[in-house]
């Protein structure tokens, strides 16, 4: 980060109560308070949400796309981990 750019923040928006916050993009701001207002101005212009989270981008630790093989592929053939093999008693109905 050079001194000319403000830090980057990631923006998460809850579209309505009951749903979880979803990543919608990023923006620059001098501090968290400004990031919140910028998020409101940039990402909530079309009735997108009811709640905003902003997180400094450098506080997010992301997985390396290069590690995808070892991280995700092993799970692909473990279909028995999906709870589709249980028989559900009729009395339960739809879960």
Task: Count interface residues toward another protein (CB under 8 A).
Answer: 13
What is the Cα 38 distance to its own chain's centre?
A: 18
Among 29, 49, 52, 54, binds another protein (CB under 8 A): 29
Residues 35-94 that bind another protein (CB under 8 A): 37-38, 40-42, 45
Minimum CB distance to another protein, residue 7 (Å): 12
In angstroms, the CA 52 to CA 30 distance is: 17
CA distance readout (Å), 2 to 7, 25, 56, 89: 9, 21, 16, 61
What is the Cα 88 distance to its own chain's centre?
A: 32
In this chain, which stretch among 32-40, 49-57, 68-76, 82-90 interacts with another protein, using CB under 8 A?
32-40
DSSP conformation class of 17:
T
Query: Which residues are at the interface with another protein (CB under 8 A)?
Result: 6, 27-30, 33-34, 37-38, 40-42, 45
């Amino acid at each position: 980060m050079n001194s000319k750019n403000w830090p980057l923040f990631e923006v998460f928006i809850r579209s309505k109560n009951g749903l979880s916050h979803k990543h919608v993009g990023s923006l620059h701001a001098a501090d968290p308070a400004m990031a919140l207002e910028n998020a409101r101005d940039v990402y909530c212009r079309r009735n997108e949400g009811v709640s905003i989270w902003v997180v400094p981008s450098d506080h997010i630790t992301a997985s390396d796309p290069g590690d995808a093989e070892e991280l995700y592929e092993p799970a692909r053939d473990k279909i028995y981990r999906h709870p589709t093999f249980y028989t559900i008693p009729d009395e339960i109905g739809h879960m």
